[in-house]
Structure 1
Amino acid sequence: MEDRLQLLVEAVVDYGIFLLDTEGHVVSWNSGAQKLKGWRKDEILGKHFSIFYPPEAVATGWPDEELRRAARDGRFEDEGWRVRKDGTRFWANVVITALREPGGGGALTGFAKVTRDLTERRAHEEALRTSEERFRLLVDSVRDHAIFMLDRDGKVQSWNPAAEAIHDQPAEQAIGLQFRMLFSPPEREAGRPEAILEQARIHGRTEDEGWRQREDGTRFWAKSVVTAVYGRSGEPLGFAVVTQDLSQQRRMEDLERSSRRLNDFIALLAHELRNPLAPIRNGVTLMQMDKTLSPPLVKVRDIIDRQLAQLTRLVDDLLDVSRLTTGKITLRPERVDIAEIVRHSVETVRPLIDARRHELHVDVPAHAGLLVEGDPTRLAQVLQNLLVNAAKYTPDGGRISLSARRAGNDAEVIVHDNGRGIAAQDLDRIFELFAQGETAPGAFPDSGLGVGLALARQLVRLHGGRMMARSAGVGQGAEFSFRIPLAKGL
């Protein structure tokens, strides 16, 4: 029987099986031990088993501690680094069993030691731990998506930093919380959380958008993707949830819808207001042709004429707002001389300038050759807007200068006044839609909608140019200029 047992031990090649005496010296050595550790039987017999341990373990007395514990408890098991004959290390599982004389409490006769090489398994475990750590770091580094796990009953099992920020709830409070508690009360009452998890169970994955609730009771609009998670054998483990806060996007979409509705309303309103303006204008024109009107009627007629002109300008502004915000402004380009644009614009604005008793100086060199490819009507609209603003925001008897020149490959038009000026912080804001400044004392009342400069800059941009504003400050005048590329060949 002993011979058969010895043959069995010798036949084992995947385990190192050998005996130690009571002091830890090797007294037997199977083929598995030789394969595992590299020593032949004649080389190792009589050696102390501490030769199998790294120097740092020997220095701490760990081999003797293993024997002491095995002797005390009857058996000792450990995992750690061991050393082969060639000095290489391997990760081993070691079981040491104390051997005693037959009978209860017999004297210690030695130890049986079984060693197994677990290096490959440990490498797999380390790789798995590394992969899990990398995945954890990846999940924790995500800042705009809440990522967390639920168990099969819908309780939170993990909670990344983004989940803390989005749901405004620390991990220690969220762990163990029911999934349904993340929803608003109306959705909880409707059974929405349970329905989402059930859909994920049935289909493996489901998407949902709706209101979620934070710890403080505030709500946010969220998009969630819930995925059922299964083990290797197919058993359900729980759910992975990825939630994104779409509150800002939802607000932007609401604003876009409101903007579209507003633009539609403005366009409809402008067209409806424009229809009665034509017959009123015709009526005023007929009254102007009648030389027999009494002075009171003439005064009334002139009031109607002025207010009609103002109303017409407001309606035109409304239409331009609609075209500007919807991108429907179109140009009819042709080769046009900037000098002609200047002449036409000055003629149009001259009555306002004269009414304010302003001094206007125009400097456009003769035969300057400032030809551009542009829409003459829209370019005149730009320049007229700048001249009207200069007249409105300059006290009576002010000075306005208008000049045009060649600047490289561009034609540059400059309008300068000595009026109220512009504060430094308002230089960019004045080009915003509906932006208006406060009317300065003595300035022409501003009854427009505040779209002129925004429209003018957009028209210049459509011509491939740019518009700028300069001012030394309040009360120190202002300068507006725009540049447009010269026609090709110039």
Structure 2
Amino acid sequence: MNPGEQADGAARDDLVSPELAAQLVDQVVDYAVIGLDTHGRIVTWNKGAARVKGYARDEIIGRHIATFYPPEDQAAGLPEDLLNRALRDGRVQHAGWRVRRDGSQFWGDVTITATFHPDGTHAGFTKVTRDMTAVHESEVRRQAFLATLAHDYRGPIYAISGYAEMIAETAGEEPAQQQRFAQRILENTQKLLSLTESLLELAHTETAEVSLAPVSLDALARARTNVESLGSLPGVERVQVQPGTCLVRADPVALDRIWTNLISNAVKYSDDGWIDVQAHAAGDFAILSVSDRGRGIHPEDVDTIFDAYERGRFQTEDGGLGLGLASVKRLTERMDGQVAINSEPEVGTTVSVALPAG
């Protein structure tokens, strides 16, 4: 072997040395990487484990991994079962609720791999955990959304079919009754169109290829136009748009969608009282707002109300899909703006959008 090959070999040995590997693993912060002995007791603890689970190294070494499982999973023997399966099959994957040091829970995506000595005897396990709480909660909301969507689509379709059959069966008879049936068909068709538009809007705002072209616009003039376009919406007559002008830099279609969503939400979730639409300059930004005197938003829902599929517990009896405010947030952020919400139950809600001034 020549000196160059010897140097390359030494470099490769350094790269795979246990000491270097341990140092690299210890620095990982996105994953909890834990070494276990053959009984499932903790022997190594990286920075990611401390971040995800909340324990310092010196207070967790030597404890069993059952520490991280809820009482019901401990009682069912889940930790031991996962270790046995990993030893039998080489590795096992599992997702479920795990417990932090402070007692709070997170949704962990876990992989446990059995490790062995060179002579083939069992050395222990490596357990890798990633906090997937946000992904899990989003999936739960998505599943609830799909269930709602199926229900909301099925109702109008059945109604349209039923009224169409009644019209066919009474053709030429009682024109006034047929007119009522036709009106019901029209109302249910509008519901389906509204649902479809919401879905298309969400797809539009989430598609990276759709570009926005901000220009200088009068936000209040666009608000008035949108109120006029919502003329057939029951309750829209309660909307008051501030007089005057307020210039913003925004994509025209995106701004119209923002106004339409905010105004129609305010009308829908307030049974009476004026709805105020305002806009004013504030330094480098223009602040657009829509205020209603409706049922408000539950305090525990405020932090998630802009998430897709999130409707809030006060709105579950309504037919919305939880897409309007999510769309407002996405469009606003794509135009370098921010959204905020201030709500008090049974008093009302104000949604504010800050966009670059025009």
Q: TM-score by structure 2 length?
A: 0.59
Q: Deviations over 1:375-433 (max 9, x none)?
A: 2222111111111121122223x111111221111122111222223343333232232
Amino acid at match of 2:356: P
Q: 5 Å matches for 1:217-366?
A: 221-228=111-118, 240-246=123-129, 248=130, 294-322=175-203, 327-328=207-208, 330-335=210-215, 336-352=217-233, 355-356=234-235, 358-366=237-245
Partners of 1:425 and 1:438 in 2: CA distance? 9
Aligned Cα root-mean-square deviation (Å): 4.7
Match runs of 1:192-203 below 5 Å? 192=89
Structure 2 equivalent of residue 184 of structure 1: 84
Quick one: which amino acid aligns to residue 145 of structure 1?
A: I
Q: Which residue of 1 aligns with 2:300?
A: 425
Distance change >3 Å, CA 339–CA 159, structure 1 → 2: closer
Please list, as runs of the form range in 1=range in 2, the aligned pairs for 1:126-137 lying within 5 A after superposition.
none
1:164 maps to: 63
Deviation at 1:167, TM superposition (A): 5.7
Structure 2 residue aligned with 1:460 = 332
Whole-Å separation in 2 of the counterparts to 1:156 and 1:390: 55
Alignment CA distance shift 1:258-1:453 (3 Å): closer
Aligned to 1:478, the other structure's residue is in SS state strand
Aligned equivalents of 1:253, 1:227: Cα separation in 2:
38
Provide the C-alpha distance between the structure 2 equivalents of 1:226 and 1:144, rounded to a whole number of angstroms: 17
After TM superposition, give the deviation of residue 438 of structure 1 in Å: 5.2
SS for the counterpart of 2:288 is: strand
**What is the DSSP-based 3-state SS (H/G/I as helix, E as strand, rest coil) of the residue aligned with 1:416?**
strand
CA distance in 2, matches of 1:450, 1:389: 10
Shift of 1:317: 2.1
Matched, 1:478 2:353: no
CA contact (8 A) 1:146 1:162 kept: no
Q: Which has the larger radius of gyration?
A: 1
Provide the rounded CA distance (Å) in 1 between the counterparts of 2:266 and 2:61: 53
Report the 3-state secondary structure (helix = DSSP H, G, I; strand = E; otherwise coil) of the residue aligned with 1:332: coil
Structure 2 unmatched runs, 5+ = 1-21, 27-31, 45-59, 69-79, 95-109, 165-173
Structure-2 residue corresponding to 1:78: none
Task: Report Cα offsets for 1:438-482 as digits up to 9, x if no partner.
Answer: 568xxxx721112211221111111111111113x2222221110
Out of 257, 261, 264, the residue aligned to residue 381 of structure 1 is 257
Are residues 447 and 185 of structure 1, via their aligned partners in 2, closer, same or farther at CA, if it must alter by over 3 Å?
closer
User: Aligned in 2, Cα 1:158/1:316: closer, same or farther, shift over 3 Å?
Assistant: closer
**Identity across matched positions, percent:** 22
8 A Cα contact 2:114 2:125, kept in partner: yes
Is the Cα–Cα contact under 8 Å of residues 386 and 480 in structure 1 kept in the other structure? yes
- Mapped contact 1:221–1:245 kept (Cα < 8 A): yes
Q: State the one-letter code of the partner of 2:127.
A: Q
Amino acid at match of 1:317: S
Question: Would the aligned equivalents of 1:393 and 1:420 in 2 still touch at CA under 8 Å?
Answer: yes
1:291-311 Cα shifts (integer Å, max 9, x gaps): xx9332322222222211111
From the superposition, tell whether residues 147 and 186 of structure 1 become closer, same or farther in structure 2 (CA, over 3 Å). Answer: closer
Tell which has more relative contact order, 1 or 2 (C-alpha 8 A, sep 6+).
2
Cα distance in structure 1, aligned partners of 2:239 and 2:135: 48
> One-letter code of the match for 1:405?
H
CA distance in 2 between partners of 1:344 and 1:182 (Å): 61
Q: 1:411 & 1:310 partners in 2: Cα distance?
A: 34
Please give the TM-score of this superposition, normalised by the length of structure 1: 0.44
Gaps of 5+ in 1: 1-134, 170-179, 193-207, 213-219, 229-235, 284-292
The answer for the alignment partner of 2:35 in structure 1 is: 146
Cα 1:342/1:157, change in 2 over 3 Å: closer
Query: Residues of 2 paired with 1:156 and 1:388: CA distance?
Result: 56
> Secondary structure of the residue that 2:291 maps to in structure 1?
strand
8 A Cα contact 2:220 2:278, kept in partner = no
* Deviation sequence 1:228-258 (CA, Å, 0-9, x none): 2xxxxxxx69675451144x56x77995997
